[in-house]
Structure formats: C-alpha cells, structure tokens
C-alpha cells in the first residue's frame, strides 16, 4: 500500500532544472484577471514594506495574484528571531520591516498594481517577556503592562498547571484563557480590550488595508472575534487561523460565521499523497475529506509555522513542491495561499537582517526562496484566475501517480508523479480547439509562449509526452492567437 518513491539523482536534478526556473516577469496583460476574480493570496513572510511594494508592481500584479499577506506590522519586542513579530508591545506601525510611512506607501503601491493587502493581526496576546523591556519603537513595557493600551486588569491569569500556560488542548477553557507559550493573554471578553483591538484594526483600515489574518484565532472564542469585528469601521476580508487538531473540542467550523478559516488538514494530506500515497486519491479532495466548506476555507501547501514543524511539503522539496502547488492552484477547493519563504537552517533564525535586526530588502537569489516566482507557481496563478467558477471535469487517473482533469471549458492540468515518463498518450480536455501555451514550461506574454505549445484539436484532445515528476497545464488565458 504505502509507497516511498526513490528517484535517481540524475532524474531529480533534471526535474529541478525544469520546474524551478523563475518566471519571466514582463508585464503581461493576459495574466490580469477581471476585477473580483483574483483570489490567490501570497504570504510574503517577513518581507519589509519596501520590498513588498516593489514586488506588487513587478511580479504580483503582472502575474495575477489577488492578495498579498504581510507579516505583523505593529511594534514588537527586540532581537533577531522571526517570531518577535508575534509579540506585540504597542500598536504603532513601526517594526523591523519598516515605518508607518513605508507601510502606507506599500499599501498604495500594491493597490495601484491591483493587489489587495491582508495584514497578519496579532490580537490574542501581547509579549511573552517575563521581565518586560523596551520595544522596537522605544515603548517601555512589562509582561502585563503596555502603557497607553493595557494594564494588569486586561489579561487572563488562568492559574492552571502551576502557572498560566496552556497544556491541555482538549480543554476549551484552557486553550482560550491560558497563555500560549507564555504570551500575555488578553481578556478578549472585555469591551475595553475589544475597543483597543478594533482601534488597531481600524487604524490599519484607515491606511487602506483590505483584510486581516487573525493570528491565534483558536485561542479566542468565536464570539469575541465577532464582537471585535462589529467594531470595525468598514467591511474587511477576514481569515482566521484555527488549527484543526484531532479530537479537540474547539472546531474550525465554529468560526465560519466571522469569515474564512484556514484548513490546516489540506497541506498535510496533500504532502502525504505526494510522499507516500497516491495522487489518484485526490479525485474528491476537499469537503468529502471532512474539510471546511470550500467557500470559506483558505488552503496552503505550507505556511511559516507548518514549514518549520514538519509533515508538509516545502521549498526544500523543490520539484515535488512545485507540482503540489500546481495542483492547489488548479483545484477548485478553497482559496489558495502561496507561501514565500526566507531560507533558514534553524527554526528561530530571523530573516536576512542588518546588524540592528532591521530586515534587509529581499533579493530572490540569496537568503530568500521566492517560491511565488517559480515559473510553475507564478504561471498557475493565471490558470486559477482563468478557471474561476468552472467545475472539475474529465478526471483521469492511472490508479497511482498520474492524474489529469479539466476545469470545464477553461483549463486542463495533468501531473505525472510516476518515476517514469508517460508517452504516446492523448488527453481529452473538452477545451476549445486551438494552440495553448504549456504554462508549466513556458511563460505566456503578449500572445506568445516561451515554451512548448499544446495543440487541442477540434474534438478537444491533445497529444503530449509527460516526463516523470512533471506536468502540463493549459488554460484559455494563455491561448495563442
């Protein structure tokens, strides 16, 4: 049953070469989707504001990304690890990633490029520093004292387990009223605290932000989030981080009344199919696997936590990672969020920074992976845009690692994750006859394709050979004139 695939080194290298090339970033009007149809999110993890702005203009807009999710922008504790961002000290928009002015300018630039901005909002807690200190922007704080925002009366002290820490995830009260890794847990049931949190989010909305990823949502009752949301000055996109855990009392479905919710099972299951089971099983991937309703799920191969904690595919898996992302971007379940990482060798390591821990500008050739620029991933964003609303049709599998399907009338993907090439075969797409760019191996720009062209005949078929651990993808947004 279980099957561990062994690839020859030579084959793996050949694959890496073809699937890992960065995409061409020449502006391509064809990639731009009609307004409202661009769903794909990219998480530019720990990028500074100047680099995010530049990426919106040069890559995200042209490639058709709908949203950029940025790391927490508020004042945080000092030091080097990436996770400092998850220890708020104040709600000043002043961090290692940049100033308020730089943040504002980034939002404006991304909007001009047609990309909306989602902020990772840390609202469950403040810092985890027992002795307090001075924050990045100079604010003096104590573990339970944040001048101008909170005093000791605004925090939970659950007093379980000999301290205030969460130990037992099977206890709803504990998960929501004790401390997540010593992080001072806000009394989100208090109107004062809710008003402060809404004040922070409203400040971000006044800067033009479009939505929020609500960090540690499972650690707040859904009703508390609803109360904070009701204090927002205008509507905003919301995605809640609720990590599904086997047998736990707090369920992701409790949160769908507030907005979207992350479906954490997706990336783990997808990795298992690629690593040790069968792509053929993906035929009904989504709700029938017990997942959240697709219209409210945000899915990802990995995020900044799961890529460190294991059990998922990451940039380290190279070609297999590209194929898993191609599947995610072609398959209609959920809203896909593409991960973009900095290179790391230990869990805590911060992003490339200067001596003062200010995050350096992103350079995609060193220190940063820029997975969202890999040709396969970047070009499948336009596939996602072009196939919005089209159902899956014409599913094919060989029982194992070769699958294919169309998005009715709009696009077609086949993935061959066997250790051997599949040759001499034709595929039924149901697509209009014509010449299409294979966007896995080529970039479509100004009506021409830099890679192989696939010809769909008058009956909707094409013939192609697919190498081992490779794919072919075509869609109506990349059709040659």
Residues that are catalytic: 215, 241
Closer Cβ to ligand LM2, 201 or 431, answer by number: 201
Least separation in angstroms between residue 129's CB and ligand LM2 is: 6
- Rounded to a whole number of angstroms, the distance between the first and last alpha carbons of the chain is 46
**Is the four-CA dihedral 464, 467, 469, 475 of positive or negative sign?**
negative
Closer Cβ to ligand LM2, 54 or 90, answer by number: 90
Least separation in angstroms between residue 220's CB and Ca ion is: 5
Closer Cβ to ligand LM2, 87 or 335, answer by number: 87
* Spatial distance between the Cα atoms of 441 and 380, rounded to a whole number of angstroms: 11
130 binds, among Ca ion, ligand LM2, none (CB under 5 to 8 A by kind): none
- Residue 23 per-residue DSSP state: P
Binding site for Ca ion (CB under 5 A): 124, 176, 185, 219
**Residue nearest ligand LM2 (C-beta atom):** 128
- Residue 171 per-residue DSSP state: -
Distances (CA, A) of 337 to 34, 114, 190, 218, 370: 19, 17, 33, 20, 14
User: Which runs of E-coded beta strand occur in 241-327?
Assistant: 260-262, 297-299
Q: Is 64:32 a contact under the CB 8 Å cutoff?
A: yes
Distances (CA, A) of 1 to 132, 148, 444: 54, 60, 40
* Spatial distance between the Cα atoms of 34 and 14, rounded to a whole number of angstroms: 37
128 binds, among ligand LM2, Ca ion, none (CB under 5 to 8 A by kind): ligand LM2
Least separation in angstroms between residue 108's CB and Ca ion is: 34
215 binds, among Ca ion, ligand LM2, none (CB under 5 to 8 A by kind): ligand LM2
* Spatial distance between the Cα atoms of 61 and 382, rounded to a whole number of angstroms: 11
Closer Cβ to ligand LM2, 299 or 323, answer by number: 299
Least separation in angstroms between residue 371's CB and ligand LM2 is: 18
166 binds, among ligand LM2, Ca ion, none (CB under 5 to 8 A by kind): none
Q: Give the three-state DSSP class for 368.
A: strand
443 binds, among ligand LM2, Ca ion, none (CB under 5 to 8 A by kind): none
185 binds, among ligand LM2, Ca ion, none (CB under 5 to 8 A by kind): Ca ion
CA dihedral 432, 435, 440, 441 (to 10 degrees): 170
Number of residues that make up the chain? 481
- Residue 58 per-residue DSSP state: I
Closer Cβ to Ca ion, 87 or 124, answer by number: 124
Least separation in angstroms between residue 175's CB and Ca ion is: 8
Give backbone dihedrals phi and psi of 213, rounded to 5 degrees, phi first: -100, 115
Least separation in angstroms between residue 221's CB and Ca ion is: 8
Least separation in angstroms between residue 241's CB and ligand LM2 is: 5
User: Which runs of E-coded beta strand occur in 368-440?
Assistant: 392-397, 402-407, 411-416, 422-428, 434-437
* Spatial distance between the Cα atoms of 391 and 403, rounded to a whole number of angstroms: 16
Closer Cβ to Ca ion, 185 or 470, answer by number: 185
Among 192, 176, 64, 156, residue whose Cα is nearest residue 116: 64
Angle between helical axes of 319-330 and 9-19 (0-180°, round to 10): 50
Binding site for ligand LM2 (CB under 6 A): 83, 86-87, 122, 128-129, 180-183, 215-216, 241, 305
Least separation in angstroms between residue 306's CB and Ca ion is: 21
Q: Which residue do the tokens 């991937």 mark?
A: 285
- Tokens representing 402 are 């070769």
87 binds, among Ca ion, ligand LM2, none (CB under 5 to 8 A by kind): ligand LM2
- Residue 323 per-residue DSSP state: H
Q: Is 432:456 a contact under the CB 8 Å cutoff?
A: yes
CA dihedral 271, 274, 278, 279 (to 10 degrees): 100
216 binds, among Ca ion, ligand LM2, none (CB under 5 to 8 A by kind): ligand LM2
Closer Cβ to ligand LM2, 86 or 368, answer by number: 86
Closer Cβ to ligand LM2, 90 or 129, answer by number: 129
């Amino acid at each position: 049953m279980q099957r561990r695939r062994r690839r020859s080194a030579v084959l793996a290298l050949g694959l890496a070469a073809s699937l890992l090339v960065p995409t061409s970033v020449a502006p391509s009007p064809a990639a731009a989707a009609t307004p409202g149809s661009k769903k794909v999110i990219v998480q530019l993890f720990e990028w500074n504001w100047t680099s995010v702005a530049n990426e919106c203009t040069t890559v995200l807009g042209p490639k058709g990304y709908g949203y950029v999710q940025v790391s927490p922008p508020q004042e945080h504790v000092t030091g080097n690890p990436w996770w400092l961002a998850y220890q708020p000290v104040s709600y000043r928009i002043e961090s290692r990633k940049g100033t308020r002015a730089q943040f504002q300018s980034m939002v404006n630039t991304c909007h001009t490029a047609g990309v909306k901005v989602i902020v990772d909002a840390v609202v469950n807690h403040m810092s985890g520093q027992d002795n307090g200190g001075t924050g990045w922007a100079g604010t003096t704080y104590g573990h339970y004292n944040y001048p101008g925002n909170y005093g000791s009366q605004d925090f939970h002290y659950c007093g379980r387990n000999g301290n205030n820490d969460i130990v037992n995830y099977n206890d709803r009260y504990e998960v929501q009223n004790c401390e997540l890794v010593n992080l001072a847990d806000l009394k989100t049931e208090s109107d004062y605290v809710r008003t402060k949190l809404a004040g922070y989010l409203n400040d971000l909305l006044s800067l033009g932000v479009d939505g929020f990823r609500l960090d540690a949502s499972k650690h707040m009752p859904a009703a508390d989030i609803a109360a904070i949301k009701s204090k927002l000055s205008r509507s905003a996109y919301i995605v809640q981080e609720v990590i599904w855990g086997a047998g736990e009392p707090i369920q992701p479905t409790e949160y769908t009344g507030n907005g979207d919710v992350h479906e954490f099972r997706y990336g783990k299951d997808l990795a298992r199919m690629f690593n040790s089971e069968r792509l053929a099983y993906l035929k009904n991937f989504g709700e029938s696997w017990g997942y959240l309703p697709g219209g409210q799920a945000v899915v990802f191969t990995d995020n900044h936590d799961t890529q460190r904690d294991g059990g998922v595919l990451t940039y380290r898996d190279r070609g297999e990672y590209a194929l898993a992302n191609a599947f995610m971007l072609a398959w209609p379940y959920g809203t896909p969020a593409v991960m973009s990482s900095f290179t790391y060798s230990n869990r805590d390591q911060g992003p490339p920074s200067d001596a003062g821990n200010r995050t350096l500008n992103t350079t995609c050739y060193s220190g940063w992976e820029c997975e969202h620029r890999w040709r396969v991933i970047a070009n499948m964003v336009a596939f996602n845009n072009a196939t919005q609303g089209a159902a899956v049709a014409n599913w094919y599998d060989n029982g194992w690692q070769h699958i294919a399907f169309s998005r009715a009338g709009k696009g077609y993907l086949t993935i061959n994750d066997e250790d051997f090439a599949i040759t001499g075969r034709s595929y039924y797409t149901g697509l209009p006859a014509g010449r299409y760019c294979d966007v896995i191996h080529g970039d479509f720009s100004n009506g021409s394709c830099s890679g192989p062209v696939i010809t769909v005949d008058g009956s909707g078929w094409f013939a192609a050979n697919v190498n081992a651990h490779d794919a072919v993808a075509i869609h109506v947004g990349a059709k040659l004139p």
